[in-house]
Amino acid sequence: MRVAVLGAGYAGLTLARKLEAGLPSDVDLVVVDEAADHLLLHELHRAIRRPDVLDAITVPLADVLDRATVRTARVESIDADARRVELSDSGGSFDFDYDYAAVCLGSETAFYDIPGLEERGTPLKRVAHAERIRREFLDVCETGGRAVVGGAGLSGVQVAGELHALAVEEGVRDRVEVVLVEQLSEITSNFPENFREAVREELEVRNVEIRTGAAVTEATDDDLELNDGDERLPYDQLVWTGGIRGSAATDGERLD
């Protein structure tokens, strides 16, 4: 019998550890994840300014799993009726059969079908994203310009804060703008009012420009269209933290 855990985030890794302890030894337990490491996602923003943080927030799955087999591949689709998963890796796509599976794929960045946004906005979900954000921002620091962070939830304000701090460390704060864009009337809108006010005050003290009531409706290579054309905001770097959605492998549906 084969039991598959699809995804090795917080939920997937916790479940896999429990299954290792509870399943009979003759059960084939397989953990499938796109990365070979477990990532402490809530700390990833710190790696933008301090790349060495990655050593502390990534843990090889093989080091924390006792007997499960780790399969490094992306889950492309799930056929629950056939008990089959389509996976892909550097060698291409292939099918993977199971008897029982737990879907723990977590969330993906939502781009809301906004024209041009997915092609141009860098999300913050993977180590490679943090590395790209840092690399592109250092380019902005070298030439001068504007970095725009779209979406002012917790991730957005964290990224904006890290970019500001990096600009200060590089000694270029006077020629680099960090702009935080949010379609709602408040930043970090899911948090209590005192938290929202404290975050806003801290960002404003650091001269991070906050633009609320500004919905991104298109992204080009040079600028963002805001509020269906009411304004265009030029940028040199675009980071997108404007929301999340369910995994594309499940088409946003729950699997029973």
Write the pLDDT tens digit of every residue in 101-141.
999 999 999 999 999 999 999 999 999 999 999 999 999 99
Given a cut of 60, whether residue 97 has pLDDT beyond it is yes
End residue of a domain, out of 69, 89, 105: 105
pLDDT tens-place string over residues 76-86: 999 999 999 99
What is the CATH number for 62?
3.50.50.60
Question: Do 120 and 213 sit in the same domain of this protein?
Answer: yes
Question: Do 118 and 224 sit in the same domain of this protein?
Answer: yes
pLDDT tens-place string over residues 208-233: 999 999 999 999 999 999 999 989 99
For residue 63, report the phi and psi dihedrals to the nearest 5 degrees: -80, -20
pLDDT value of position 255: 56
End residue of a domain, out of 75, 105, 135: 105
Q: Which two tokens stand for residue 120?
A: 């141009």
Give the SS3 label for residue 96: strand
pLDDT tens-place string over residues 172-187: 999 999 999 999 999 9
Given a cut of 60, whether residue 34 has pLDDT beyond it is yes
Q: Element (H or E) spanning 166, and its range?
A: helix 154-169
What count of other Cβ atoms lies within 10 Å of the Cβ of residue 45? 23
With respect to residue 255, please indicate whether it lies within any of the assigned structural domains. Answer: no
End residue of a domain, out of 105, 139, 173: 105
Q: Which two tokens stand for residue 74?
A: 């992306």
Question: Do 171 and 80 sit in the same domain of this protein?
Answer: no
Supply the range of the domain harboring residue 194: 109-244
Q: Which two tokens stand for residue 9?
A: 């985030």
Strands 237-240 and 231-234, sheet pairing: unpaired
Question: Do 82 and 182 sit in the same domain of this protein?
Answer: no
